[in-house]
Amino acid sequence: MTNERTPPLTGVTVLEIGAFMAAPFAALQLADLGAKVIKVEHSTGGDPVRQTGPFLGTESSPFVRINRNKRSVALDLKSPDARSAFLRLVERADVLVENLRPGAMRRLGLGYQDLREINPRLVYASGSGWGQDGPLANLPGLDIMAQARSGLMSITGHPGGPPAKVGVPICDLVCGLYLALAVTAALRERDRSGTGQHIDVSLFEAGVSFAVWEAGKYFATGEVGGPMGSAHQSNAPYQAVHSSDGYVTIGATTPRNWQAFCGALGLTRLLADPRYADAFSRLENRAELIKSIETVTSTMSTAEIIERLNKAGVPCAPIADYGEVFTDEHLAARGFFWDAPHPTLGSVRQLGSPMRMSETPVQRAGAGPVLGADTREVLLAAGCSAAEIDHLVAAGAALADDVGGATTTSSATTTTTRR
């Protein structure tokens, strides 16, 4: 059944001045929720992700996924004429999301204080490596530096092994999520006060915010955690264990699950062992516990372990690679993956939004746009004349890709499937 209600942020206009990950990922969340996101890119080259492979024809495969449901306006904001055109967009916008180095927007005359004079209702969200102020503010900061300084790399990997980062750019991504969350909160506040505000989210602090177990330990005992492989900081057994054909993850941390786990795998002898009498004891004796568990699990296939534990109601899962994830039948049954239209590539498979809303579904419109695909249409709607736009294009201060075709979301059908 198709739900024809509009997404929750329909009517909200977002300007994105973003590169790589944090701001584009934040704007992606807002676009999925129905906001009209206008991605303002440099007229030469655009977002650097456009040059990141693999490529589908001349288009970046990562770009057309990270930037779905957006429009592309290509302007050189160092050009006075292009900046004037951009300010017309600001007059009509609700939100601006940017992740340039702190001070860069201000040097362009586009800082928060500058733009609030033009549009006091503007919610201005800044993502950066280290924040807009403080001793580190002016340093370049990428995801791996934030993972390093935030402590994440100190607890990732195996004891005695080399430093390892989380496999995805987690600080970039969660910074984007915090930006999107803060934007929605600021819009709610604007409903009450009538004015916008400045939002400052850093990769560094986003990474530190994950340290819920580590903070609980350090501020209580002064103990500093270290890498533990797949094991949990405070519970056991809760980790990956050997099977005969690989590994399987298990989580038997409650009294009920611990008893069911031992019964399902023929380990009932462990129930009478005083070393494993309660959760704290099992944690203190984790090394011996895991050895005992693996004497059994290493003789069984992953599929057999999963079948037994699922039947007993014990949390468990195989370790899937992304080839398996992207063809997972559970995700397929829930309609998680979907195909977005693109003017030159046809259909482009997309990761779905995890946000499932029964009454106001997320938007599923176009794949990431061709550079400058919407420059002309968006600037005309903002009040620029055709002659002004032609002048910008002729001067190299704007790019209008009329050949590639606009990839606007205005005419796209937004649907969701009830299951």
129 and 271 share one domain: no
201 and 292 share one domain: no
In a domain, 341, yes or no: yes
Q: Report how many domains make up the chain.
A: 2
- Per-residue model confidence as pLDDT tens digits over 91-110: 999 999 999 999 999 999 99
pLDDT attached to residue 4: 65
161 and 263 share one domain: no
- Which amino acid, one-letter code, is at 48? P
Asked if pLDDT for residue 350 goes beyond 80, the answer is yes
Catalytic hit among 143, 172, 200, 401? 172
pLDDT attached to residue 406: 47
- Per-residue model confidence as pLDDT tens digits over 240-298: 999 999 999 999 999 999 999 999 999 999 999 999 999 999 999 999 999 999 999 99
pLDDT grade for 194, boundaries at 50, 70 and 90: very high
Q: Which residues of 35-65 are buried (b: 16+ CB within 10 A; e: fewer)?
A: bbbbbbbbbeebbebbeeeeebeebbbbbbb
In a domain, 183, yes or no: yes
In a domain, 5, yes or no: no
In a domain, 410, yes or no: no
29 and 127 share one domain: yes
Place of tokens 């004429």: 81
In a domain, 187, yes or no: yes
pLDDT attached to residue 409: 44
In a domain, 217, yes or no: no
Q: At what angle do helices 80-92 and 386-394 cross, to 10 degrees?
A: 140
CATH code for the domain of 266: 3.30.1540.10
Asked if pLDDT for residue 414 goes beyond 50, the answer is no
Question: Is 172 tagged catalytic?
Answer: yes
On whether the pTM is more than 0.85, the answer is yes
Asked if pLDDT for residue 325 goes beyond 90, the answer is yes
Distance, in Å, from the CA atom of 73 to the CA atom of 137, rounded to the nearest integer, reads 29
Arithmetic mean of pLDDT, 159-185: 97
30 and 164 share one domain: yes
267 and 162 share one domain: no
30 and 131 share one domain: yes
pLDDT grade for 5, boundaries at 50, 70 and 90: confident
43 and 190 share one domain: yes
pLDDT attached to residue 249: 98
276, 293, 323 - which closes a domain: 323
Arithmetic mean of pLDDT, 378-394: 97
Tell me which long-range contacts 101-109 makes (C-beta under 8 A, separation of at least 24): 101/128, 101/138, 101/140, 102/126, 102/128, 102/131, 102/132, 102/133, 102/137, 102/138, 103/138, 105/17, 108/77, 108/78, 108/83, 109/83
Arithmetic mean of pLDDT, 365-387: 97
Cα Rg of the chain, angstroms: 25
Distance, in Å, from the CA atom of 227 to the CA atom of 392, rounded to the nearest integer, reads 54
105 and 188 share one domain: yes
282 and 367 share one domain: no
Distance, in Å, from the CA atom of 143 to the CA atom of 127, rounded to the nearest integer, reads 12
368: left (phi over 0), alpha (psi -120 to 50) or beta: beta
Q: At what angle do helices 22-32 and 170-193 cross, to 10 degrees?
A: 50
- Per-residue model confidence as pLDDT tens digits over 11-45: 999 999 999 999 999 999 999 999 999 999 999 99
pLDDT grade for 401, boundaries at 50, 70 and 90: confident
In a domain, 197, yes or no: yes
In a domain, 39, yes or no: yes
Distance, in Å, from the CA atom of 150 to the CA atom of 156, rounded to the nearest integer, reads 12
Distance, in Å, from the CA atom of 311 to the CA atom of 320, rounded to the nearest integer, reads 20
Pairing of strands 123-128, 55-56: unpaired
Arithmetic mean of pLDDT, 140-144: 96
Range of the domain at 289: 238-323
323, 342, 368 - which closes a domain: 323
317 and 381 share one domain: no
167 and 119 share one domain: yes
323, 348, 367 - which closes a domain: 323
CATH code for the domain of 166: 3.40.50.10540
> Are 172 and 147 in contact, with CB atoms under 8 Å apart?
no
Six-digit token pair at 347?
A: 């259909």
The three-class DSSP label of residue 96 is strand
Q: For 67-164, where are the alpha helices, taking DSSP H only?
A: 80-92, 104-107, 112-118, 143-149
